[in-house]
Each structure stands twice: as C-alpha cells, then as structure tokens.
Structure 1
C-alpha cells in the first residue's frame, strides 16, 4: 500500500493548528467593565476624573481616535475553575497598560486587529494571568490605562471586543507551539529532505490522533511530536544571535505623548516575559525613551535598571534618539552620541559600543568617523534592504566613511526588526546571508516594533523549541554586543564598502515638512552662536555658562530630529505640536544670544555703542543696516568691533535695477518677460554662468501623488505647470539692487526678492511662499554653463561627489540627493554653486542643478507644507573648483550672518575685544566652541573641509594653561601644549579634531 501524498499530509497537519489555537482558552465568565474617558492621559491617582461611561459590554463604543481612558475590569473566578490556570482575555480595540494595585505598570496589551505585516505574525497581546492554579472564587479588580488607537495609530471603531475570565489549557498551548514550529519547519525543508518526510509523517499521524481534542489525545500527540523536537542540529555552520526588540518610533502615526505610553506598555511586557522565560534577552534603544520612563514611570524604570544590571536587558544604541542622518547637522549628530552615551553611562554604568539605527532613511558618509571618535565600534541597521533598484552587496562588512575611517557593520539578513522568530525566519537568514561564506554568525531581532509592544509569548515559545533543532541554524538568545564580539573575530575576511550608504527610497523626506527643516537649521546655527558667545563671556568675565539650559534645548532639538519627525513622515498632530515647540525654542535661543552679545558689548568698553560680531573663523566683509543707514563693515574672525570701528569706506557705484536686469560691480543678471533668469554674467572672469538659450529659476510644479516618504522616479514626466509672473518691481535699496517678483499658481503665491549686493559675487533669492496645493511638488532648476560628471554635495564635516550621469542603475537610483549648505558643479577652471539656508533635496542631471522646495503629498499629513514658508537660496559663480573658490565659506556665510548688537550702558567693562581663536589655514573650519561638559575648560571642534591633508597653526586670544586633544566624548587623548596659547595641528582629509583648552584666568 502506498503512503499518503506528502502535500495532503502537510495540509491536514496545518489545518489542526486553528483547532488547537481555539482550544487554548475557554471563556468561563464575563467581566464588568467601566471606563473614565479623557482627551489626554492622566495618572493613576486621577483615574476617575474623566467622563464615566457607565457599564460597558462587548460591542459598546467607548471613545474616538486618540481618546484615553482608565478602565476597571471586575469579576469573580467561578468555582468550576478550581485547580486550573485562569487568565483574563482583554481587548478594547486599542492599546492598554495594565497596572498593579499600586498603579505601577504591569503588562501591555494590544488589540489583535492592529495593523501589521501579517506575514511576520499576529501583533495582538490580550492575556493577563490571574492564577496559575486557581482556588475558585478569587476576586478580579484590575485597572488599565487605555488608548483609542491600534499599534500604528489607526482608529478601529473604539469598541470593546473582549472582556472575559478564561481557563488556559496549558497542555493545548504547549502542543500548539510544538505543532506550529514543526509544521513550519516541514514547509521550509526541501522536498527531497529525509527530515521533512519524517516530520510530515509524524504531524500527519498526530493529526489523526487529535481528530477530537481532549486531554488524552493532546497528551498522545505531544509525545509523538516530542521525538521530532528533540532531534538536534549537530555542529552548526551558522549561529543566529537572537535578541528581543521593540523598535519604537518616538512619533509617527501617533503623537509623542502616545509614545511615552507605548514605552511603558512595551517595557512592562518585556519585564513580565523575563519572569516566564529565563533565556529571554531583550534590548531597547533611545535614551530619550528611558528618560520618559524615568520621569513618568519611576517604579517601572527601577525594574528596568535591575534587569540591565542582571544582563538580561540590553541598553542599545549610542544616540539620544534614532535620528535622520541625512538632514541632521554634523554637530547635532555628535550631540546625539554625546548625550546618548552619557545617559547610558550615568544611569546604568554601560559604555555603548554599538550604533543602533534599524530604520533611518540613509546614512551620511561622515558617520564612521563620528562613531570611532566617540568610542563606538559597531553599527547595526537593516533599512538598506528597502532599496528600490540595487541590492546592497553585504550583510557583514566594514563601512568606510569619507575620511577613511572604518566601522564594523551588520545588516540582519532577515531584513526586518520585526522577526517572528519562526523557522521561516531562520531559513531566510541562512539562505539570504550574503556573507555566509566568510561568517558563521548573524543577528535576528524579534518582536513587534514601530508601534511597540515587543515580543510576545509566541516568539519565546518558538525560540525555546528552535535552540538546536535539526533542520535549522542554531539559535542563541544574547545581546547584540555579544554578537558583535563574535562577528569581530571573523572580520579579517570581510569586505569594505566606501562612501555614504544611500537608501534608494524615501528621497521625499529630504523636502517634506519644510517648516520643520527650516527651524532645525536655524536652531542648529542658533545654538552654535549661543554656545560661542556664552563661552567667550565665561572665559572673559566668569559669566555663568548656561549649561543646563543648553542641554535642555539641545535634547529637545535632538528629539525632533527623530527619523519620522524631521524627515516629514508623521501625522498632522506631530507637526502642529513640534512647530509650536520649535517657535518657543527659537525665541528662547534668540533671546539668550541677544542678551549675551549685549553683555559682551558692554564688557568690551564700547560705552554703549552698537557693535557687530563675527562667530566664523575668518574676517568678514558684509553690509549691515543700523536704523535707516547701511554700513559696509569688516569684522575680524571670532571677534567683534563697535560699528564705528568696523565701518569701511566703500562705493555703491555701478548698482542698477530694472525689471529685466540687475547689476553690481561683479555680476549682471538678466531676466526674460516671464521673470526667469536667462543670464548671469561674471564680469571679472568674463564667463556666463547660465547655459545659453535656457531659463533658470523657473518654478516648476509636478504632480506628486506619493506619500511623505516617496515621490515617483518619473516625476519629470508628470508636469503640472509652472508658476506665472503676476507682478514685478525693481529698485535699489542701499547697497542692494533688487528685483521683486510675485508668482501665482492656482491658489498659491510666491514672492521673491532677487538681490545683488555691492561688492558681492552672489545672487540671492529671498523667498516667501504661500503654498496651498495638494498632491504637488514645487522645484526650481538652474541649467548652468558648466560640464562635469560629478557634483560636489555638502554634508556633515565634508562633502561627497555624486554622479551627474545616469549610465547605470546605481546612478539612476540616486536621482534625488542630499546636500546641506551648498551643492556645487565645477569643471577645472570654473563652477557654479547653489547655496541655501534650509533646503536639502537636490537633483543634478548633466548641467542642471535642481532644488526641491516644497511637497504636499496626501499621507500621512494631508496638510503637509500647505502653509507660509520663508527660505533663501543663492547662486555663486566662481573661478576654479569649489576648494579654490571657498564655496564652503560661502555656505557658512549664508547660514551664519553677522550679529548686530545695540549698545547698552548698564553693563560696561574694559575688556578689549578678544579673537578667541585664530586659524591660519582657510581649509580648516571651526564648527563648535562650547564649555566642556564636565570641567571648566573650553571645547573647540575643527575639521578639514577640502578632502586634503592640512597643517595649521591654532592661536588662542586668551592665555592657556594647557591644550589637549580629545575625542568627541570630550575625553582627553593627548597633551599638545602646556602654558602656551598656540599649537600646530595636522589634519588628514575631512578629519575632525577636538581640542580641550584650559583657559588661564
């Protein structure tokens, strides 16, 4: 007699799973449910202050999206449950945090109907244990903090779905997971495998036994499956390190306030699971999240600290949050690491060695140096697997940054941080691991992430059965740091990948939510200015340095750099709230800076005269307006002068403005009847910057029916129109020749002042836009008279070259690219740079430089960029390449203006103006001056800007007791000079150096 067909046997075996699942929980009574509803969360002590709902039953509606409520579940365990394991089954079609009798978080629950990628498993958590062996008659009185939203912020229907007392049949539960693991193992094994045939046969025979599920048949089936589960894998070729994880977006499809509660729910669940599963190791990143727990759930936080001390809980990641690394500035990324590492060290005594960035939208080529100089040796991410056109060639490799620094990097081969920890996970890891020929170790992150929740019992039950199961790679639950230590032992065989890690997806995030990006740039520069002047005041006169206030502001700015806030990919409420806070922070930084400069002016002995200050490390000539008067001033590097001392005689002769032409002593700009720039003639070098016969500064609008992350690659073929010139006016104002133009499109308008300034070779475009379009993208392009196969793009602490050609799929995929202060297209003898003060998305094809100004996609914020915007960009035609032309300096000058301070007579002194630092090499930039975190010394952060070796003499304007080099964590690594005020430094290309200087007072 032949055997039954293998497929039929496996199908029959799999069909038993749903019957087993239904048999696990046996409802034996209903709970009485009451709720007190509020619009915002309230603490446990105020749990009955909301609007009472009265008694709720299954199917009753209790709230709308984002409503909150404290729930009370009451009941009595029936006498029939004596000797049985009793649980509660709770589902409010939202999220809940169950608390103990003292109001301390106990366990997180989530509706089983949460939005999730169901190929990764089911996300719901609905079970709360009452008793492992009930006496019968126990009183149930349970409180829970509820949220009317699912894991991803979606509104289901705000109704009660389940509120029952139930018996948990442990034998059926164990049999279910035995069955699930073996049936999936059989699916993953090749048809020719003897192991598969044997597993399928066993499952088939067991399915016949449990035609009727009862304790006797379940026991027999368990014995049959046991022999297959006890088969070991032998000596493994690949070991998978598994760590529980719950990647939590600090804001996304929910507001920040809900993230705080998501953190509590997730952390509480992890703690309870650790009590049930002794092998379980869990990891959580982002000190900001821990800080919220410390502030709002202190008892929960103390439990976490104990597990970290024990080694079962891994504090992960070296940054304050998991930030966007394209748009965030260089110093901001350093502060992410500085504050992140300090928190984990101070709170838990843990030195962070791994950068944990599972979900950001591309990785700046500056990161490896930032990591290594911060004592971070390893990096983990998986987002590169999302690239649309080209697969990244490695999962384990050395990533080399723009300066040559390398960091050991691993991408989990499963390509997710939401692993179900199922047999299919392990098979995918083994089959997909691109470096399995040279590595025997890979990482797996299991649990429910993004919206939080983390691993459930299903993940841990699977892992318990998969430790060393024949047919699968071996699995060990351990920390990611332990994994990297193993990986490092193999690393001498790994390949190196050089340059930025570009994600071929989510390029729209370089532009979406332009107001947030404007505030981010302004606050980064504003904090730089405030730290500089506060350092100078402290060094000169002992004025207290506002360290606590600066840290507070920095940390909030860093929070908004989270990879779903700053990139523009969150819901409307996130931007309503962050923009409100940005405005407060901006005003606070501005006020503190103004006060500090006024005090500095008084100390400098100018007797109440107005003064002008320059925080950049080179002398600057610029025009300032004092009252109704314009003055050309020259201000020394890192210093200031009274306006009277700074004024330089100059002529504004040759300035002219008409509706078709602007001219100063350096440039002539010509415009056509539509207001477009058709010529920018460089008088000194007798060169035309705009490509002849083409128009520049055309405001082009494209259909954009993508989302906040993405717009179509073929957007140029989806033209919606151009903004039309409605009116223009030309005039000369002081040293400025101005053409003021107003454009219209639909209900939107854009007003632009195009400005040439006497003595300057930059054409500025000062822009205000009232954008009201939906599903549209606004861009402006400049066809320039330059030919180059590469464009130079400003990034943090250097620049990268990117192709202007589209010869390969790699080049095609990099159509939209990130740049900060400038993007520059240069040939050997001439070039044109496009500078900006708050934009990041660019595209360069051939000779056309294209700047992405605004996007208004419909999701997830239907109001994205539909608002009033202000921004400035500028064209800088120049002789030679970007290095010879000082493009880096031009970018800084656009973003860091001189500071004019009105004089004060109530705070005067006799200090002479001090040039705090002088640098004799124009290719070395001073990025930061600040007071050290832990000492009365000053920090000076410098970097080489040109990608060359550089030697420079650094001189300080105040006597120095010592000059030391430090790492980015402000830890001294070498004494350079004692009792001297100057030092010589040598820089490698794009190298960052940090000096820690003791000022003699």
Structure 2
C-alpha cells in the first residue's frame, strides 16, 4: 500500500487536534470558584489566603491591569472515578499566545504551602493517582492579571499599559473552565508518540527511507484509533508505533544535552515586583516536576532571583533548597543578574560575579564555573578576564544567533579578551533559550552545528521563559522518546557542568575568537532611557568613592566601615544592570522606579562619602579638596589642601567675526557665531584637532524608526537623512563659559563651553529639554586625524575597532559601546572624546578632496525617542558632559575618570589628607580601594594596566596603625588567594608588581 505523504500528514494534524488531544481528559466535573481582588500591590500570602471571597463563574471578566486576584477553588472527586488518575484543569483566561506575557497563577494549599504554578501551557494540578473517590479539593490561587502588551496582535505598538498609573482598571481576562478531570495517561502518551514522530518525519528528507517507515507506522496507528472510542483504542495505536520508536539512533548522531530552563527577565514588560512572583511560580512548578520526573535536571541563574524567593516566598524557598541539595535543581551563572555586559563599568562587572558567586557559596555551598548569559545583547572585549578572575571557566550565550548581517562562525570556541584571557564558550546551535523539544528545533540544532567532524555535542536550554512556567511534562516526555531515536539527534538531561566537561574533553583545541562578541542587533540599547544610564554611571562612580573614603576613614580615623550599606547598594545597582533595565528596553514603570531608586541611592552614597571625609578632615575651618579621580599619583584617589581661588576656567574673549576664544596656553578654542567649535588648537603639539572647514560640538538630528524592536534597535538607514542643528537662539558668556542656546522641533538645548586652567581640555556641558518623537540626537566631533582604528574604553582597558568598512563585519558595527572615552590617534598625537554618562557612539572616516587629508568623525549618541515599550521614553530634561581632549591614550584614561569622579571640598582641621594608597606607575589605574568583604579589616586594592602595554608599579599604603605593608596577597575577585600565587613581599611599605597589557590584579593587604 502506498500512502500519499501529504494526506497522512494532514490526517495526523486533524485527528490529533480534534479527537486524540481532547480525549486526554474524557470526563470532567465543575469546581466551585470564588474570587477576591485588589488593584494595589500584592498582599502577603497569609492575607490572600484569609481574604473573604465571592462566587464567580466561567465567563466572568476579572483582573484590572497589574492587579492580583485570589481565587478559592473547591470541589469533590466523584465516587465513580475511583481508580482513575484525576487532575484539575484550571483556565484563568489564558490565550493561545506565548506564555509569560499574560495572566499567571500560583496554587496554594489552605496551610499556605505551594502546589505549583499555573501558566497558559501548564494549567493542570494533579489531585491523585489513583483516587479513591470522594477526595476534597481545596486550593487558593494567587493570580496576577498582568496585561498582554501586544494583545491587539500587532507588536511594538505604543501602549499605556506599561505603567499602573496609566493602565486604567478595565478587566483584562475572562475566567475559563475550572474543572476536575480524569486524566487518560495512555491517550496522553499516544499524543506524545504521534507528535514526536510527526515532527521527526517532517524534518527528514523526502527520499529518506526512515521518513517513509515512520509515515506508514503513523498511518497504521491512525487506522487503529476508533475516533468514536479514542480512549478504548489508544493502546492499540501505540502498539503500531512501538517499532519505529524503538529504532536506535545512528552512532554518529549529534548529541544534545538538554537542561531545564526558564529564562526570566528580572524586569522587562513587567516591573521588578512582578518578577518576584514570576520566579516563585516557576520554581514551584519546576520543583514539582523534579519530583515527578527522575531524569529531569533544571538550571536557574541570577542569584538575585534566588534571593527574592528567600526573602518573599519562604515556603517556595524551602522546596528550592531541598531540590538544590538533591543535585537536580542547579544554580548556574555565578552572577547577581544576567546583566548587560557592554555598559557596566569595570568594578560593576566584577561585582556581578562577586555577589552572585558569594550567594551561591553561602546558601548552597556551590561554586558555579559557568557564566550563563543566553539573552545578553553582545559581550564586551574586557569580559573574559573578569570571568576568569572570578574563578569561572566557561560561558554560555545564545543571543549572537540574532545577528542580522553575519553568521557567527562557531558554536564551540575559545573567547579571548583584551588581556589574553581565554574562556571556553558554547553558543547552542538550537538557536533558542526556550527550546520546546520540537522536532524542527532538534533537527536545526544538529544541522546548524558548525563543529561537525571535530565535536559532537551541544546544549539545549529547554522550557518556557519569562513566567511561562519553565519546562513542561510534555517536553520531558518528548526528550525521553528522543533519547535514542533513529533519524534524530540524541537527547539527555544533563546539568550544564556535565555538558561542558564532555564538550571540553572531546574538543581540546577549539578555534579562538579574539575581541568583543558584537551583536548585530539591538544597538540602540546603548542610548535608550538616558536617565537610567546616567543613574547607573553616577551610582558606579559614587560607589567607587564611597568605598575609597570609607576605607580611608576606617584605617585612619577608626570610623566603622559601612559593610551592610555598601553590600545592599551594590546589589541594587547590579540588579538595575539587568539586560532590559540598563539597556532601556523595559516598560515605563520599570524606568520610573529606576530613576527613583538611583536618586535614593545617590543620597545614601553622598552621605557615606561626606561622613568619611568629615572624619578625615576633622573639626576646623581649613578647606580641603578631596579628589576621587585616579589621575594623581599614577591613578590613586587623594585629598589635599584646596587650590587658590581663580584656578577654575579661563575667561572667554571676543573672536573676530563673531563668537569667542578660550585660550589657557595649552589649548586655544575658537567658537564661531553659530556656537560651533571651529578650532581646537593644541599649542604644545602645534596641531589642530578640528578638521578643515568643519566644526565640533555639532548636534545632529536623525529620523529614528527601526523596522522593529523600537527601544532596542537603530537601523543603518537612519543615517541616510538628518540635519545639522546650527541655528542659534542666543550666544553669550556665562561666568567663565560660553553659553549657546538652540531650539529645534519641540525641544531646546543649552550648552556651556569652557576650558579649565592648566588642562588641555574643552568641556562641553549640554542640557536638552527633549520633546521629540522617533528622533535620534547625536553630538559630532569631526577631527583632523587619520586613524584606521580607534580605541573605546571597556572594562579594565580599551578595545580597538576599525574606522573603515572593508567587510560586512566592520560595516555592521555602525553603532558601538564605549565607557568614559573614545580615542583616535596618529603616531605621536591623538584626540579623545570623554563623557560622564553616554555609551552609544559611531566613528566614521572620509578623505577630503580638497587636501587629501582624512577626517575621522566621532559622534556621541545622546537621546532617542522610541515609543515602545515606553511611549514617553526620554521625554524631559537631560544633562550631559563631554570633553574634547588632545593627547595620548593616557590622557584619555585620566580625563575620562576626572569627568566621572568630581572634586569635593570639605572644611576641617587637617592641612592635608594623604592618599591611603599610592601607585607610581602612570599606566596603572586603581579601580577599587575597600575593606575585605569578610570583615577581617584587610585592605583590598584592585588595579589594572590601562594603556595597553607592559607596566611596572609600586603600590604603597601610607603609614597607619596596622597597615605597614610587609606583604600583599594576589587574590581572585572574591578576595581569595590565587592558587599557586605566592604573596608579594613588601619593602619600605610598598610592593612592586609587573603587569601585562590590560592585566587586572587584586591585592589583599593584611593587617600587620
């Protein structure tokens, strides 16, 4: 008999949909349901359990946006169901859309113990197997009516639903059936058999004998099913499939290590407080599944999310701790959150691992050796040495598969950072961190794998994310059938460490990728939500100062070191570096709260700094200058007597033809009548920084309407059109600065341009009252420099990118990330653009026809105005500080720090305050001075080589009781001695160190 392929496939699809799947629950009975709702913040579990409810029936609208409803569900198992398996099927009003973006629930027993989470594709709760009949069902469900922000079916549309203040109170959902049901396990297994075979069949080549073998077996199985008695004939159908399901995979089949996964964004299309509940629901679900499925392994990253469960859901935490102790619920990643890695500063990126790993060690006694960042929007070139310095050896990511221009050439490789550190990295070829064990996904992983012939295995993170509930029993069942099935890759549940052990063992010499892992997508996340980015940068800088001055005051004045306060603040800042908060891609609610949080943290940190500096200054009237920027004494924060009055900036003088001149003997700046800088002449080098007939400090406005992902993306075509903002509203002098005012559209700009005394630097302070929509604002610096590449600061150093577009890889980097500076140079001379709060930028080059010279243009990205997911993104007043700095890379490093760590004046009795730590190497920068986290009182100094060459330096601690430096212990980021590294002997109160280019070193100096 010859069955037509398309007829069998169409028959399978319809019979499954209309007959077999509905027969999984052949008999049902209604449950009684009551409800109590609140539109405010979620109430404690005990309050929700005790709430007075009212009856509600199927079809009843419920749930204001962002509200919470507590359902009381009761019923009795019918006596005639004795001996059957019975489940409750609870439909809160779920839609067919992707889980994680609609209502969700957590089922509790009357005593407050959790049962499991309810999700759109996982809404069953087991009552008994088998039941005796007559069992009483009594549950409470905490249900979140989170709005579906794309409920109209059109994604990326502006919506008021992204903030409770604008979302209204209309019910979001309609209650669906809430019923007890007999669960027919045989029919359910038949569904799994047919789905696996049908999906495999669809992926096999048409001419494959295996495909036709499966097709005929499926046809026989469908013949064996009596559509009027599916439950009575399901086993006969399964018998027809047993042979094709038992055929083993080929010995050379690709090997997939599946790990249960539920990637939960710590905030995104929901606020932080809702993530707490998403995590509780998902982990309740996963601990229940672990009890049911002995081979299943689940992994969860983000120490913050574990900490939330511990703090807010102790009943769930107890189950998680037990599952971790059993070895099948695996904490991974070793980071506080799955952060963005482009924008966090050096210390913040280090502290992500410090706080994450320390939490796992303290709570579980586990040390994760795998960094886990499946969804992060690209990876900075400085990250490998941070990973390595934290005692982590391996990295998993997925997002690079989203790149739109070039396909990344490897799935398993060594990633080399700016200092030469290498990390074994895997990039799963399944191209998803929400694998569902579908046949097309498994086939794609095998076919897509780029290391064929030299490696055989990959990893598949499996489960619904973002509150979708994690892995389902259906995914586990499919994985069991794919364990050893002809025509398919093989699937085994394994912990990430087990996968990496095997992958490293079979592939000892993988290829090497050097430099950043640039995501060719989501480039606008470097600019969106400017106030969130400013809050992050300011918090990082204040934390650097707070630790320095608190440590100095503790050593010098005996002031108590604020361990607990700094720990809490660090964790809050790290949380807000999550890859949808700092990148600006969350709803309005998230960014409103972020702004409020940064303001509160800023006040706390200013208080810590002020208290420490007052303790050092003593009681008196002498004015002291405290300088936290590492540009004095080779990169050491210091304090000393305040300079004399008049040491600020030079006074502007009129310029012939209009405008002003600023000249401090080192740098001569000419500002024309348009308020544009037409000359920035380096008087010592006798070089002009501004390209001929060009002007720097040029604001440029572009249209900005990407093809999708509004807050995330900027597409290259934005550069096709735009205009220079050269019209000036007013031009004049304000104090020692030139004041420039402009207006455009509905917005206004005020700039102050100044040149400080004795420093080769043009400061540009910009205030923008921004009311544009779907526009992109840039600040341009066309420079008379021939540079084939440029440097941009990244964590613990800088990375180079080309200025040309020889290849598609170079073209794709049309918007990139820098920290405090971008530097372009020719041999012997260069120019930096430094900033205090911006990250996005672009650098282009052009050869001038008139003189054959090259213009290299650096443009800082200031503001955008996307309308999704926050329709009011960036509306309002913003302040930026940039500076144009002629000089070498060391000048860029110094001035970049200076722009971010301001000088402070304090009155006291002391004539001067010597720096606690001094370093005499100009290329060596101190990134942290603090007391050890273990509260031993030891001093910790972290430093790095900042110029990209080899360096020697002497590190000294100024004489103080208990800190005569006789030795320093090299440590990892967690302040533990490095294996095989001997303590450095001190001499004359200092230790000498040698550093490789960009090498990061942490020294622990014990009390004598």
TM-score by length of 2: 0.92
**d(CA) in 2 for partners of 1:21 and 1:650?**
81
Q: Corresponding residue for 1:627?
A: none
Evaluate the alpha carbon distance shift between residue 207 and residue 875 of structure 1 in structure 2; reply closer, same or farther with a 3 A threshold.
Answer: same
Q: Corresponding residue for 1:144?
A: 141
Shift of 1:500: 0.7
Q: Corresponding residue for 1:6?
A: 5
Give matches, 1:146-225, under 5 Å. Answer: 146-149=143-146, 157-212=172-227, 213-225=229-241
Shift of 1:85: 1.9
**d(CA) in 1 for partners of 2:149 and 2:366?**
32
Q: Corresponding residue for 1:639?
A: 638
Give the secondary structure class of the aligned counterpart of 1:710: coil
Q: Corresponding residue for 1:119?
A: none
Shift of 1:976: 0.7
Select the structure with the greater relative contact order (CA < 8 A; seq sep ≥ 6).
2
Q: Corresponding residue for 2:99?
A: none
Give the secondary structure class of the aligned counterpart of 1:757: coil
**d(CA) in 1 for partners of 2:224 and 2:442?**
30
Give matches, 1:606-617, under 5 Å. Answer: 607-617=620-630
**d(CA) in 1 for partners of 2:971 and 2:923?**
21
**d(CA) in 2 for partners of 1:72 and 1:216?**
35
Give matches, 1:289-688, under 5 Å. Answer: 289-602=305-618, 607-619=620-632, 638-643=637-642, 646-647=643-644, 656=653, 660-665=659-664, 666-688=666-688
Q: Cα deviations across residues 636-659 of structure 1 (Å, max 9, x unaligned)?
A: 95432233xx54997988752566
Shift of 1:60: 1.0
Q: 1:233 aligns with which of 229, 249, 253?
A: 249
Shift of 1:896: 1.3
Q: Corresponding residue for 2:923?
A: 923
Q: Cα deviations across residues 237-257 of structure 1 (Å, max 9, x unaligned)?
A: 432111000010000000011
Q: 1:103 aligns with which of 112, 130, 136?
A: 112
- Whether the 8 Å CA contact 1:104–1:297 is kept in 2: the answer is no
Shift of 1:451: 3.5
- Whether the 8 Å CA contact 1:97–1:145 is kept in 2: the answer is yes
**d(CA) in 2 for partners of 1:653 and 1:148?**
60
Give matches, 1:555-954, under 5 Å. Answer: 555-602=571-618, 607-619=620-632, 638-643=637-642, 646-647=643-644, 656=653, 660-665=659-664, 666-706=666-706, 707-719=710-722, 722=725, 724-731=727-734, 733=735, 736=736, 738-846=737-845, 847-878=856-887, 881-883=888-890, 886-903=891-908, 913-934=913-934, 935-954=936-955
Q: Corresponding residue for 2:985?
A: 977
Q: Corresponding residue for 2:994?
A: 986
- Whether the 8 Å CA contact 1:282–1:312 is kept in 2: the answer is yes
- Whether the 8 Å CA contact 2:3–2:216 is kept in 1: the answer is no
Shift of 1:759: 2.2
Q: Is 20-29 or 96-105 further displaced after alignment?
A: 20-29
Q: Corresponding residue for 1:121?
A: none
**d(CA) in 2 for partners of 1:655 and 1:75?**
83
Q: 2:287 aligns with which of 271, 274, 280?
A: 271
- Whether the 8 Å CA contact 1:928–1:940 is kept in 2: the answer is yes
**d(CA) in 1 for partners of 2:925 and 2:31?**
67
**d(CA) in 2 for partners of 1:558 and 1:936?**
24
- Whether the 8 Å CA contact 1:962–1:980 is kept in 2: the answer is no
- Whether the 8 Å CA contact 1:664–1:759 is kept in 2: the answer is no
Q: Cα deviations across residues 463-500 of structure 1 (Å, max 9, x unaligned)?
A: 11111112112211110000001111123231000011
Q: Corresponding residue for 2:157?
A: none
- Whether the 8 Å CA contact 1:553–1:585 is kept in 2: the answer is yes
**d(CA) in 2 for partners of 1:252 and 1:818?**
22
**d(CA) in 2 for partners of 1:214 and 1:762?**
81
Tell me whether 1:46 sits opposite 2:42 in the alignment.
no
Evaluate the alpha carbon distance shift between residue 681 and residue 229 of structure 1 in structure 2; reply closer, same or farther with a 3 A threshold.
Answer: same
Tell me whether 1:966 sits opposite 2:971 in the alignment.
yes
Evaluate the alpha carbon distance shift between residue 718 and residue 294 of structure 1 in structure 2; reply closer, same or farther with a 3 A threshold.
Answer: same
Give the secondary structure class of the aligned counterpart of 1:994: strand
- Whether the 8 Å CA contact 2:650–2:756 is kept in 1: the answer is no
**d(CA) in 2 for partners of 1:285 and 1:153?**
27
Shift of 1:541: 2.7
- Whether the 8 Å CA contact 2:630–2:897 is kept in 1: the answer is no
Give the secondary structure class of the aligned counterpart of 2:569: helix
Shift of 1:32: 2.2
**d(CA) in 2 for partners of 1:131 and 1:518?**
55
**d(CA) in 2 for partners of 1:287 and 1:897?**
33
Q: How many residues align?
A: 954
Q: Corresponding residue for 2:100?
A: none
Shift of 1:30: 2.0
For structure 2, the 5+ residue unaligned runs are 94-102, 152-160, 162-170, 846-855
Give the secondary structure class of the aligned counterpart of 1:536: helix
- Whether the 8 Å CA contact 2:105–2:118 is kept in 1: the answer is yes
Give the secondary structure class of the aligned counterpart of 1:960: coil
For structure 1, the 5+ residue unaligned runs are 112-123, 621-634
**d(CA) in 2 for partners of 1:149 and 1:187?**
37
- Whether the 8 Å CA contact 2:659–2:670 is kept in 1: the answer is yes
- Whether the 8 Å CA contact 2:337–2:575 is kept in 1: the answer is yes
Give the secondary structure class of the aligned counterpart of 1:144: strand
Shift of 1:436: 2.0
**d(CA) in 1 for partners of 2:378 and 2:8?**
46
**d(CA) in 2 for partners of 1:954 and 1:617?**
14
Shift of 1:14: 3.2
Q: Is 297-306 or 920-929 further displaced after alignment?
A: 297-306
Shift of 1:536: 0.8
- Whether the 8 Å CA contact 2:630–2:898 is kept in 1: the answer is no
Shift of 1:228: 1.6
Q: Is 811-820 or 991-1000 further displaced after alignment?
A: 991-1000
Evaluate the alpha carbon distance shift between residue 153 and residue 372 of structure 1 in structure 2; reply closer, same or farther with a 3 A threshold.
Answer: farther
Q: 1:246 aligns with which of 239, 256, 262?
A: 262
Shift of 1:66: 0.7
Shift of 1:337: 0.3
Evaluate the alpha carbon distance shift between residue 765 and residue 215 of structure 1 in structure 2; reply closer, same or farther with a 3 A threshold.
Answer: same
**d(CA) in 1 for partners of 2:972 and 2:885?**
35
**d(CA) in 1 for partners of 2:292 and 2:635?**
67
Q: Is 941-950 or 57-66 further displaced after alignment?
A: 57-66
**d(CA) in 1 for partners of 2:358 and 2:591?**
29
**d(CA) in 2 for partners of 1:866 and 1:791?**
32
Evaluate the alpha carbon distance shift between residue 980 and residue 695 of structure 1 in structure 2; reply closer, same or farther with a 3 A threshold.
Answer: closer
**d(CA) in 2 for partners of 1:181 and 1:810?**
39
Give the secondary structure class of the aligned counterpart of 2:395: strand
Q: 1:288 aligns with which of 304, 307, 312?
A: 304
Evaluate the alpha carbon distance shift between residue 722 and residue 451 of structure 1 in structure 2; reply closer, same or farther with a 3 A threshold.
Answer: farther
Evaluate the alpha carbon distance shift between residue 103 and residue 854 of structure 1 in structure 2; reply closer, same or farther with a 3 A threshold.
Answer: same
- Whether the 8 Å CA contact 2:631–2:897 is kept in 1: the answer is no
Q: Is 133-142 or 850-859 further displaced after alignment?
A: 133-142
Shift of 1:170: 1.6
TM-score by length of 1: 0.92
- Whether the 8 Å CA contact 1:152–1:254 is kept in 2: the answer is no
